[in-house]
Structure 1
Amino acid sequence: MTNKIFMLMTFIGVPLSVIGSLMHWPTMILFIIYCLSIVALASYMGRATESLAIVAGPRIGGLLNATFGNAVELIISIFSLKAGLIGVVLASLTGSVIGNLLLVAGLSFFVGGLKFKRQLFNVHDARHNSGLLMFAIIVAFVIPEIFSMNMNETKTLSLSVGISIILIALYLAALFFKLVTHRGVYQTEESETAAENGHHEEPEWGKGKSILILLLSTLAVAYISENLVHTFHYVAEAFGWTELFIGVIIVAIVGNAAEHASAIVMAYKNKMDIAVEIAVGSTLQIAMFVAPVLVLLSLLFEKKMPLVFTLPELITMVTSVLLMVVISNDGESNWFEGLTLLAAYIIMGIGFYLL
């Protein structure tokens, strides 16, 4: 029944999004249509991810979902870079990091925890990801902030470019480590049981169809998201929102809506390895691939983007990483831990709203 509702929303919402943008319908109506269409498309991305996870395993399924989901944000950010909106791009990157670690993981733990008292995921993956998170956010993002205080713009940009190249290289090495050289080495009993159950479970779609649906859904979400960005200023004025709040909270939530929905659905079905891989894997991809790529791409535009965030952005990201590391390092979750992450996200959201 739910799938039929989302199918109806997709086949009505996507054409209306195209027609509405071409015919310049009222902005508030377009805002609502765009948001509902993205939510409907997110359901398809979630179902495709689940099918891929059954066929190819939770790591690859989660990685593909995060990659297609972050492709939307990368596209939006490139358009924003071209327009010279460096502040909005950095704010949306911040929003993605805290959104994935606190909102997505928090909702996944909370929703899954309401159904299952104790949910387990691969503790070795959790600890491996913790080290990468600490490196990507606390080392690679804090150092440019500290060193830039005693540097001019040219040197700060050179430092940012150097760090970006190292981040991309390390991210690719991390993928090679997880998917090739050490694939299955750190498998827990729970993960093996889940894998065995997954082999008995029939995927809704085959591998080819799942990847095709993910690709088409991503393209549709990218088109709608780009149009949605243009409605933010009107909506911001209507609700009294600041540009920083839009970048950190609104753009980040909408840009990552697809993977948000997928992670929560996986947690509800007690497929925590996939849910955690989507939430944390997406954060790592944002910090170690998307952000560095945007720094390098900005060299092609008139206004360059150094990897230097504002102090509130930096502190919220570091706090999110430390909280997620402490909560996830034992390889298990419950609804209260999810609620703790959500409470932290709400506190930060209030702060950015009032800033």
Structure 2
Amino acid sequence: MNKIFLVLVFAGVPLSVIGTLLHWSNIILFGIYCLTIIALAGFMGRATESLAIVAGPRIGGLLNATFGNAVELIISVFALKEGLVGVVLASLTGSVIGNLLLVAGLSFFVGGLKFKRQTYNVFDARHNSGLLMFGVIVAFVIPEVFSMTMDGTKKISFSIGISIILIVLYLAALFFKLVTHRGVYQTTTENEQHAHEEPEWGKGKAITVLAISTVAVAYVSENLVHTFETVGEAFGWTELFIGVVIVAIVGNAAEHASAIIMAYKNKMDIAVEIAVGSTLQVAMFVAPVLVLISLVFAEPMSLVFTLPELISMVTAVLLMIVISNDGESNWFEGATLLAAYLIMGIGFYLL
């Protein structure tokens, strides 16, 4: 797999540049851009995995989620610049349901095929459940309800206020988990599991790969956004489907791959931290930041989703909480999460 990603990067980046300069077909370029971003995301995943071994599962999962979401953040900023607010909101929806149902589902399923019963830190699972309830259900449902009687200006003002609160609480959650209560809820098994590992890359090389990959992703992502309209018309994809499925999967490819690999290696603490931590970061940091960034563009973005998007996110959160709160997983729980994702994916395609 690593060799395939290496070939895709060294072929995809030059082809992306050449194709853009020579104005190749947008459909061809869309395929090249997507494969290149996924390959670059694979390198970002390997780099963050190396850093995770040095820093521990919590910080490693956070790093993986952060750099994985950096790809989507970059794509979304360029989409906002082009006025594609609907695509951005849909991609945020896709990230939430994708991480909770697709990434966690595949992790539980793949890991469960190899190990009959896998465990992870139950205290982290319960802590994250509360944040998921707040970050997705409270912060996204409340704007939907209150905005029914608001005009456009008030919706934006309300979204700005909510965004600031979300960012502050997210930073407080990180401070709680990584500073004031670091190690308080850590299990003995978790400590032993990560005690004798050797990172694939040194800290310097890993950081360098992350930096170069992020710059390359930024370039390719800007060009990817310009192909959405043509591709949507050619394949009959709506703006909603492109955002929820295509942008979300491509933008989150790094943590998708890393979480599944971690689960296969029975490192469920990192796998769950990536899937749930990435969701929390999208809901409580990426989405609010995009609201604030959108203020510099012609069309500001509010945190008001469509009803299908909202119900899908709430359903994904509730299902994940019910399944993960016991601190254990198996392949059938993974299959249940995947089935829910497929049902939602079909629904968004047919809308």
| 1:49-64 map, 5 Å | 49-64=48-63
Q: How many residues align?
A: 351
CA distance in 1, matches of 2:187, 2:49: 20
Give yes or no for contact 1:45–1:262 (8 Å, CA) kept in 2: no
Residue 29 (structure 1) aligns with? 28
Q: 1:262 aligns with which of 241, 246, 258?
A: 258
CA distance in 1, matches of 2:300, 2:234: 31
CA distance in 2, matches of 1:300, 1:230: 20
Deviation digits for residues 187-241 of structure 1 (CA, Å, limit 9, x no counterpart): 1232122132xxx221111122112212222222232223223223222222211
- The yes-or-no answer on 1:128 pairing with 2:122 is no
Runs ≥4 residues deviating over 4 A: none
State the Cα distance separating 1:138 from its structure 2 match: 0.8
- What code does the residue aligned with 2:241 have? F
Deviation digits for residues 97-132 of structure 1 (CA, Å, limit 9, x no counterpart): 111111111111111111111111111111111100
Specify whether residues 306 and 6 from structure 1 end up closer, same or farther in structure 2 by C-alpha distance, changes over 3 A only: closer
- Secondary structure of the 1:162 match is helix
| 1:1-355 map, 5 Å | 2-196=1-195, 200-355=196-351
CA distance in 1, matches of 2:152, 2:26: 38
Give yes or no for contact 1:121–1:190 (8 Å, CA) kept in 2: no
CA distance in 1, matches of 2:218, 2:138: 31
CA distance in 1, matches of 2:31, 2:297: 32
State the Cα distance separating 1:134 from its structure 2 match: 0.2
- Let me know the Cα RMSD of the aligned residues: 1.4
Specify whether residues 36 and 82 from structure 1 end up closer, same or farther in structure 2 by C-alpha distance, changes over 3 A only: closer
Structure 1 residue runs of 5 or longer lacking an equivalent are none
State the Cα distance separating 1:142 from its structure 2 match: 0.6
CA distance in 2, matches of 1:239, 1:302: 29
State the Cα distance separating 1:160 from its structure 2 match: 1.3
Identity between Structure 1 and Structure 2 (%): 81
CA distance in 2, matches of 1:316, 1:128: 22
Structure 2 residue runs of 5 or longer lacking an equivalent are none
Give yes or no for contact 1:52–1:61 (8 Å, CA) kept in 2: yes
**TM-score, with normalisation over the residues of structure 1?**
0.95
Deviation digits for residues 258-316 of structure 1 (CA, Å, limit 9, x no counterpart): 22111111111111111111111111111001111111222222222111111111100
CA distance in 2, matches of 1:109, 1:193: 21
Specify whether residues 304 and 32 from structure 1 end up closer, same or farther in structure 2 by C-alpha distance, changes over 3 A only: closer
- What code does the residue aligned with 1:265 have? I
CA distance in 1, matches of 2:274, 2:214: 16
